[in-house]
Every structure is written in structure tokens, then in C-alpha cells.
Amino acid sequence: MRAAALLAAVLLATAASAGRLSAQVPDSSAAPADTGLRVDSVAQAARPDSAIYPKAPVSPMGALLRSILVPGWGQAKLHRKLTGALFVTWEGVTLGMALKTDHELRYLRRTGSGSVKAKQQERQDWLVLLAFNHLFSGIEAYVSSHLWDFPDDLQISAAPLPDGGFGASVRVPIRLP
């Protein structure tokens, strides 16, 4: 338990001291963002708030910190309901199993069982999975906030080949100024 708390403290301290990197400063010589904004019906259906939020509704650091504190919170702010629900579900599973294992460990200690060591390892495994859920949720929210304005019109299609196999093609639109 102390290791998980120490890991969380180190992650929060690192995230707080990261600040803005020079590669994240917008280029002032680039064209204004609203001149080339094109919203397809497919893109609008996939992310209905894209016309309302030309930039992410939460900063990458804000999304990271939210999701480290409560897995799924940063995803909820970024309107990624399924991803957030998966992190919340896994949080419930790992937390429930950690509590159940802790209860079983107390029972084994009370009865003087010989399998206390194995149950301690099991409890530690569930606590590590719980900590990694917080970490992965924060990283996923951070990356999702950075990729908020990534084009939605990338297409991947699969097709059967005449010899019985499958082929795939990727269409990447390139817009020239």
C-alpha cells in the first residue's frame, strides 16, 4: 500500500513540474485555425462537439490529473464515454478484488492458516493493478487531449482477396494549402 501511495505521489509531482514544452507552443506564422475548418457529416457524427470545441475542452495536464485522481474523469471531460466507462469498470473490479482479498487475508491470519504468504501476494497484485489503472487512465486522457483535433476522415478498409486471404487499405487525405 505504501508503494502505491509513493508511486502516486511521484507521478503527481512529475506531472505538476512538466509545464509547457517548446514543441507545444503554436506556430504564429501558420494560417488561422478557422480558415480551413471543414466538418464532414461522418466526423460530426463521430464527435458531435468538434464544431463547438475547436480545441480540447480540457488541457492535457488537466485531463492527466483528473484521470490519475479518478480513472475515467479525464475521458468524461473529453467526451470519450466508452473509454471512461472501461476505466471505471476496471477500477471497480480491482478495488473490489483488493478489498475481498484483504478480508480473506485477515481471516487467514486469525485462523493461523499456512497460506497467508500467498494471499498477501495476491492482495499486492490487485493493488498494483489498481495503481496501473490510475496511471494508464491518466496517460490515455493526456494523449487523447493532445489528439483532440486529429482528423476524423482517415479510412481503413478490409477486402477479401481472390486467393482466399484478406487485404487492407488505408486512405489518408492530404490537404494542400
Q: Over the stretch 80-109, which tens digit does the pLDDT of each residue have?
A: 999 999 999 999 999 999 999 999 999 999
Q: What 3-state DSSP class applies to 3? A: helix
Lowest average pLDDT, out of 6-20, 79-93, 116-130, goes to: 6-20
Across the chain, what does the average pLDDT equal? 78
pLDDT confidence bin for 118, thresholds 50/70/90:
very high
Ranges of H-type helices in the chain: 2-18, 41-46, 60-69, 73-77, 81-111, 116-146
* Residue 139 CA: distances (Å) to CA of 1, 90, 133, 147: 22, 16, 10, 12
| Secondary element (H or E) of residue 168 | strand 166-171
Tell me the average pLDDT across 12-31.
Answer: 50
Q: Do the Cβ atoms of 55 and 125 come closer than 8 Å?
A: no
**Interior angle at CA 141, CA 136 and CA 142, nearest 5:** 95
Residue 71: Cβ within 10 Å count: 27
> 47 falls in which pLDDT band (50, 70, 90)?
low
Cα-to-chain-centroid distance, residue 130: 14
- Quick one: which of 156, 176, 175, 174 has its CA closest to 166? 156
